[in-house]
A = this chain, B = another copy of it.
Amino acid sequence: MSPDITPELPSQKVDQPATLATTIYARLKADILTTRLEPGRKLQSRFLMEQYNVGQTPLREALNRLTTEEFVVGMEQRGFYVKEVSKEELQELTKTRCWVEGLALSESMQNATQAWEEALLVAHHRLDRTPRSLKPDTFEDNPDWEKVHRAFHATLIGLCGSRPLLGFCEQLADRLYRYRMMSIAKAYPARKVGAEHSDILQAVLARDSEQAVHLLQQHYRRTADVIYSDLDGLLA
C-alpha cells in the first residue's frame, strides 16, 4: 500500500520464495523457446527427471502449465511433446501480432505521457548500445539484447490500458521467439534491425500514430519473411 520510494522497473513478482514446480516450469519454458528442446520432441518423464534433477510431481505440474500455454501438447495417456512448428503457425502468429500490437500501440499513443515517452527513449537507447551478438564475426546470441529488445517492444504498447491484451502480446512474443531462434544464426548480420527500431521511435515521438503502427507491423513482417524462407530448409 505504501508508495514505492525507488522508481524501479515494475517487477510483478515482489515476493515468492519460488517453488520447485515454478522453477522447473521456467527452465522448461526457456529450453523450449530457445529450441534446446526441439519442436516435436517427446518429453519423457524419465529423461526430464534426470536432466533437471526433479521428481515427477513438480515436473508434471510444470508440463501441465505449459500445456495451456501451448508450448507443450499433452496427448492423454501417452505423454507430452514439445509443440511443433509450422510455416502456417508462423504466418498466423505474425498476422495476429501485427493486428493486436498495432491496436495496442495506437491506444498507447493516445494515452501517451511525458514519462512514457522518456521511458521509451531510454529503452531504445539501451537497445541501441547493446550488441546483438557476443562475438563480432560469428553469431552468438546475447541474452542481454533479448532482454532490452523485449523491453523496448513492451514499452511501446505498455500504455494501452489492457492487462489481458498485454498478456496476450507477451505470449505471442514468446511463441514467435522460438521461430526467431531457429533461423537467427543465418539471418545475422544481414538485417539492419537497429534502423527499424529507430524509425519506430521517431514516429512515436513525432506522435504520428499511423506511421508508427505501420513501421511496427512492417518490422514484424520482415522478421517473419526472413524466418519463413529459412524454414523451408529447416523443416525439410
Q: Does A163 contact B (CB under 8 A)?
A: yes
**A175 contacts across to B, CB distance below 8 A:** 164
How distant is the Cα of A34 from the Cα of B18 in the complex, in angstroms? 31
Size bracket, chain A contacts: 35 or more
A5-58: which have CB < 8 Å to B? 15-19, 21-22, 57
CB distance from A220 to the nearest CB of B (A): 14
Cα(A162)–Cα(B94), bound, Å: 10
Q: Which of A59-67, A122-130, A202-210 contacts B (4 or more CB under 8 A)?
A: A59-67
CA distance in complex: A7, B112 (Å): 46
Inter-chain CA distance A100–B104, complex, in Å, is 10
Contacts of A96 in B (CB 8 A): 162, 164-165
The residue on B at minimum CB distance from A107 is B99
> How many chain copies does the complex carry?
2
Which residue from B64, B65, B103, B164 sits with its C-beta under 8 Å from A21? B64
Shortest distance from the beta carbon of A60 to any chain B beta carbon, whole Å: 6
Q: Is the CB of A164 within 8 A of B92?
A: yes
Known: A65-B64, A65-B68, A69-B68. A92 touches B21 (CB 8 A): no
Report which residue of A19, A61, A65, A164 has the largest number of chain B beta carbons within 10 angstroms of its beta carbon: A164
Q: How far is the CB of A49 from chain B (nearest CB, A)?
A: 15
- The 3 A-B residue pairs with the shortest CB-CB distance, nearest first, are A61-B64, A96-B162, A16-B76
- 16 A-B pairs with CB atoms under 8 Å apart are A16-B76, A17-B77, A18-B76, A19-B76, A19-B77, A22-B76, A57-B57, A61-B61, A64-B65, A68-B69, A92-B162, A96-B162, A100-B103, A100-B165, A164-B172, A164-B175
Residues in A lying within 8 Å of B, measured CB to CB:
15-19, 21-22, 57, 60-62, 64-65, 67-70, 76-77, 92-93, 95-96, 99-100, 103, 107, 161-165, 167-168, 172, 175
